[in-house]
Amino acid sequence: MEPALQIPLLTLFFTAAVSENVALYYFLGICPLISISADLKASFNMGLTVSMVMLITTAANWAVYNLLLRPLALEYLQLLFFVSIIAAVVQLLEQFLDRFFPSIYEVFGIFLPLITVNCAILGVAMFAVLREYSLVQSLVFAAGSGIGWWLVICIIASVRRRIDLTAVPVHLGKTGITMLIAAVIALAFSGITELMSGGL
Q: What is the pLDDT of residues 63-89, one digit of tens each?
A: 999 999 999 999 999 999 999 999 999
Residue 51 lies in a domain: yes
Distance from CA of residue 176 to its chain's centroid? 22
Helices marked H in the chain: 9-14, 30-36, 40-64, 78-100, 102-108, 112-116, 119-130, 135-163, 173-196
Most distant CA atoms of the chain, gap in Å: 59
Contact yes or no for 22/153 (Cβ under 8 A): no
Say how many CA atoms lie within 13 Å of 110 toward its Cβ: 10
Confidence of residue 126 (pLDDT cuts 50, 70, 90): very high
Domains identified in the chain, total number: 1
Quote the DSSP letter at residue 39.
S
**125 φψ region: left (φ > 0), alpha (ψ -120 to 50), beta (else):** alpha
Q: What is the pLDDT of residue 172?
A: 77
Residue 109 lies in a domain: yes
Contact yes or no for 18/147 (Cβ under 8 A): no
- Cα→Cα distances 48→43, 116, 191, Å: 9, 15, 25
- Per-residue pLDDT tens for 31-43? 888 888 888 888 8
Residue 160 lies in a domain: yes
Q: What is the pLDDT of residue 198?
A: 61
Residue 199 lies in a domain: no
Residue 11 lies in a domain: yes
Residue 200 lies in a domain: no
Taking the model in full, what pTM does it have? Answer: 0.86
CA distance 34 to 38: 8
Which range of residues forms the domain containing residue 63? 4-193
Contact yes or no for 77/65 (Cβ under 8 A): no
